[in-house]
Amino acid sequence: MGLWDDLTANVPSVDLGGTARSLYSGASDLVDRGVGAATDAGRYLHDGAVELGHDAYGLGERAVQGVSDTADAAYHGLTDWHFEGRQARNGAAPSDAELGDPSRGWELLPPSMSVFHDDGHGAPERKYVNGDGRESVRDGDTGTEVTDPRYMATYNYVTPMAWDNAHGVSGVAEWAARGIGHIGADVLPYLLGGNVRGPG
């Protein structure tokens, strides 16, 4: 039953003719179509707003990822010399024969100059340096090359000099300059970032 029927149900029968009924039916149809159109428009606006929200979120997410990727690339570019550069320049560990051959340029440093390479277990590790920047760290107990990233050998951009090799004023000046250079170029980067990129 429609609204017209409800309104006219208790009214004494009066013939209003087909015109009024047709007008009511047309008006009712228009109202139904208007409600449907408004519902469709509301649904369209809601769906559009949701899609816009998803697009904005996606855009924001891509912007954050872009900033993160740029920061990672910049960090990697600024630290390559320390991590990958040292590993590439240090190369393979020298043999025992190379370390023992004075013509190869390897110098055994005193334990006081090897503290960052000593694991604190057993005999102290032995640190050898070469004038070309290469380094070798041998386990104090086994004599094998240390591979633990915390204590392993790394290339020295400024090779340290043992105090015993500082002879005369120029020797002391060289010892001081190389010590300061080694701290700045080799020790501080190690303290800030370790020997390898990432965990380790």
Q: Where are the domains of the chain?
A: 20-78, 84-193
Q: Residue 73: what pLDDT? A: 82
Question: How far apart, in whole angstroms, are the C-alpha atoms of residue 34 and residue 15?
Answer: 29
Q: Residue 155: what pLDDT? A: 94
CA angle 68, 194, 115 (to 5 degrees): 165
- What are the residues whose beta carbons fall under 8 Å from the beta carbon of 186, sequence distance 6 or more? 154, 156, 157, 158, 160
Name the pTM for this structure.
0.63
Q: Residue 37: what pLDDT? A: 65
Mean pLDDT by 10 residues, the chain (200 residues): 59 56 64 68 72 73 77 81 90 95 94 92 95 96 95 93 92 94 92 81
Question: How far apart, in whole angstroms, are the C-alpha atoms of residue 148 and residue 152?
Answer: 6
Handedness of CA 80, 135, 126, 166 (dihedral sign): negative
